[in-house]
Chains A and B, each alone.
Chain A
Amino acid sequence: MKKVCPSADEILSRFIVSKDDVETAFHRLSTQQPKCGFGLQGVCCRLCSNGPCRVTPKSPRGVCGADADTMVARNFLRAVAAGAACYLHVVENAAGSLQAAAASGKEIQGAAVLAELAGALDLPGSDARERAGHLAGQVMDDLYRPRQKQMALTEKLAYAPRLARWRELGIIPGGAKSEVFDALVKTSTNQSSDPVDMMLHALRLGIATGIYGLELTNLLNDVLLGEPKIAAGPVGFSVVDPDYINIMVTGHQHALIGPVQEGLAAPRAIDLARQAGARGFKIIGCTCVGQDLQSRGDQNGVFAGHAGNNFTSEALLATGGVDLVLSEFNCTLPGIEEVCRQYMVAQICLDDVAKKQNAGYLPFDPGAGEETARRVVEAAVESYRQRRGRIGINVPEHGYENSLAGLSERNLRAFLGGNYKPLIELIASGRVKGLAAIVGCSNLTAGGHDVFTAGLTRELIARDILVLSAGCTSGGLENLGFMSPEAAGWAGEKLRQVCRELNIPPVLNFGPCLGIGRLEMVAAGIAAALQVDLPQLPLVLSAPQWLEEQALADGAFGLALGLPLHLALPPFITGSKLVTRVLTEDMEKLTGGRVIVEGEIVPAAEQLEAVIMQRRAALGI
């Protein structure tokens, strides 16, 4: 019997175990034991040919003289820079798509959000298209500024008390790409050995990531593709209907998938599908871009629903029900290559940053969306013809029919009646003890796939803490029913009543990891209504099962915002006492935020609840 990593999702686990001929990350985890302790502690350095050097009690410095603090800070900043680069790539493509749409005279879908932004950002232009073009242009200009020049939109979008604190600390970023670039310079061989300066640089990258990579990506996509809509819909593997030609999407860029989504409903495309014997096309949501499609709703009958998060992708392919994978970013696991080969699944990649070996590369051109859609349709039909009848299809009964999704900063406010006052009153009365943003990835190492995320969420809602989710946490939690009405029964008595009165689940789905930017805007909205700064809110942040470099850039934003940030696994920093102290203690004096590392579920919930109770006491509620 092969060793298979557990998942909180038992149906998924059983399905993976039943697929004897398929190798997934769940199988590979045990083959990668034991882990290297130097890597875990962040004290391995490969920056020069004198290395790799490792810090041990017998050798406290590398050949160059770098100590553990320098090595850890360098490795950490490099990881944050890479993560920031990923999100900045995404916002650049979103801006490019909006620019192209504005230039081509395409209809702007998010007129209301654009109108709000036009006011806040003072966008010139006589109509929506012109203003959209200016918005995208300003984002592009900011991304490409030199490091010495502050980006123009930072001041307009950041919450004012935060901006003031960042100014005092000198961490307002210059041009975002230049900040990433210089982080690489700074962490190269025999450059900076000042761990504190490197940690401050990580905060600057966090701010650039948060305001541009997260918030503005959402806003640009909302303008381009339409705003999220609060709606219940199906989730899980059961969204795969073998009667359709199924296209599974992986990535983070709705702007790139949008034209294909549109083209799959075109009469010509449907004709082609019918000629091949299918009823039409469906997009199967997988990873964060699926969450994005889910948030903005099934606009033309093509989106089947969100099937699962990052580590479900290999298993989803093993259902045999997917005919083509359309990828444009992470989390497109290299492991899908072999599963696609086994199940004869064609692959198309729209952005070479996520290119798979056996995927065809169809470079995305924002001005040629229809052509992209046409080629995807043809490839999907061809794959359908080739593989159906030769590949067995076995889709397990999995997921929920009525999972609530599509929360955003604007529609939550509207849902509450136009302002945050009703939510503030619920918090003040204690019926909602506080808010916990459970965000980020899933990994296989914090107890197993989604194990910590689900366990922590259950503990927090049982303590009457309303949970807001963004990222692969959403994909995991919705497949476990946390966003369905029956989850109200798992909440504490007070929260349960609130859920039933408002007809909401105890976990609110803000979509993909990009939605962390929406959560920040919600937090700022609540703080503004209360006239306090973010670190005073009864709000905690947890990325319990953080996986990757992007998550660390998100985390750096959370710290810059002054939020307590829980992680189940330390981000390869424990080899440095200084870096560990800066992140877990001293940061509170700088930004108000701090990292809380706690690898056990109940103690983590207790610590987060304690933070909320302290904040409540300080606010006098």
Chain B
Amino acid sequence: MKRIFIRPELCAGCKTCELSCLVEHCAGSSLWTIDLGDAGNQPRNTVLAGPKGVPLPLTCRHCPEPACVDACPAGAMVRNEATGLVEHRNERCVGCWMCVMACPFGLVWPSAREQKSIKCDFCGERDNPACVESCPTGALSLVETDPAGGVKEITID
């Protein structure tokens, strides 16, 4: 199963991951044109200031036992057993924010555009998540995990 591996010690705090997430999720936009003045444009990841201001990049962990799935009363949060990804079924979401409150990492948010949650979708059809591809320092990388707990780095061209 593919996972995003985070090495906070490599993060420069440039927020390129946030921008590439925005570009990926706002149809027809580019790094040049994405509207940074529109609060409705929300990235699904974030770079927070960690202890002593050290940047801390965060992306959905797609937990094996996801708190958001347990908390969701509408069946909108689902763990895909084949991929291991935690998926948000937008049409079922009732906007009760249980998932928002339950996520221990704070990586599910209320959408600014509608009464629904938003979260990382691992960039859907894309081969690799945009945040990983765009990270200039290697703080975000892609790994393959196996049930025995092994982790193998995946090289992206």
Contacts and interface: CB of A to CB of B under 8 A. Distances in A.
B136 A34 contact: yes
B39 A58 contact: yes
Contacts, number: 55
Contacts of B31: 34-35, 37, 40-41
B72 interface: no
Interface stretch (B3-11, B14-22, B57-65, B99-107): B14-22
Contacts of B37: 55, 57, 60, 68, 575, 577
A57 B41 contact: yes
19 contacts: A34-B136, A36-B14, A38-B15, A41-B32, A41-B34, A41-B36, A55-B36, A56-B15, A56-B18, A57-B22, A57-B36, A57-B39, A58-B39, A58-B42, A60-B39, A68-B37, A574-B33, A575-B37, A577-B37
B134 interface: yes
Nearest to A44: B14
Interface of B: 14-16, 18-20, 22-23, 31-42, 133-134, 136
Interface string A10-37: 0000000000000000000000001111
B15 A54 contact: yes
A577 B39 CA distance: 15
Interface SS of chain B:
loop
A331 interface: no
A34 B16 contact: yes
Contacts of B23: 37
Interface in A42-80: 43, 54-58, 60, 68
B31 to A, nearest CB: 4
Contacts of B18: 56
A570 B14 contact: no
Given A35-B31, A36-B16, A37-B31, A56 B136 contact: no
Contacts of A36: 14, 16, 136
A254 to B, nearest CB: 37
Q: Which of A43, A57, A574, A575 has the most CB of B within 10 A?
A: A57
Contacts of A37: 16, 19-20, 23, 31, 34
Contacts of B15: 38, 54, 56
Interface string A299-326: 0000000000000000000000000000
Contacts of A57: 22, 35-42
Contacts of B133: 34
Interface SS of chain A:
loop
B16 A575 contact: no
A575 B20 contact: no
Given A57-B37, A57-B40, A570 B20 contact: no
Interface of A: 34-38, 40-41, 43, 54-58, 60, 68, 569-570, 574-575, 577
B51 to A, nearest CB: 20
A58 B39 CA distance: 6
Q: Which of A34, A40, A55, A575 has the most CB of B within 10 A?
A: A34
A41 B41 CA distance: 16
B32 to A, nearest CB: 5
Contacts of B33: 574
Contact of A68 (B19, B36, B41, B134): B36
Q: Which of B20, B22, B35, B41 has the most CB of A within 10 A?
A: B35
Contacts of B32: 40-41, 569-570, 574
A386 to B, nearest CB: 41
The 4 lowest CB-CB distance pairs between A and B, nearest first, are A37-B19, A37-B31, A34-B134, A57-B41
Nearest to A54: B15
Contacts of A58: 39, 42
A1 to B, nearest CB: 12
B20 A34 contact: yes
Contacts of A55: 36-37
A574 B36 CA distance: 9
A58 B46 CA distance: 11
Contacts of B40: 57
Nearest to A569: B32
Nearest to A33: B136
Contacts of B42: 57-58
A68 B37 CA distance: 8
Nearest to B18: A56
Nearest to B23: A37
Nearest to A597: B32
Given A34-B136, A57-B42, A575 B36 contact: yes
A54 B47 CA distance: 13
A34 B30 CA distance: 13
A55 to B, nearest CB: 5
A545 to B, nearest CB: 16
B123 to A, nearest CB: 15
Q: Which of B20, B32, B34, B35 has the most CB of A within 10 A?
A: B32
Given A570-B32, A574-B32, A574-B33, A38 B19 contact: yes
Contacts of A43: 36
Given A41-B31, A56-B18, A575-B36, 6 more contacts: A34-B20, A34-B133, A57-B35, A57-B38, A58-B39, A58-B42
A313 to B, nearest CB: 27
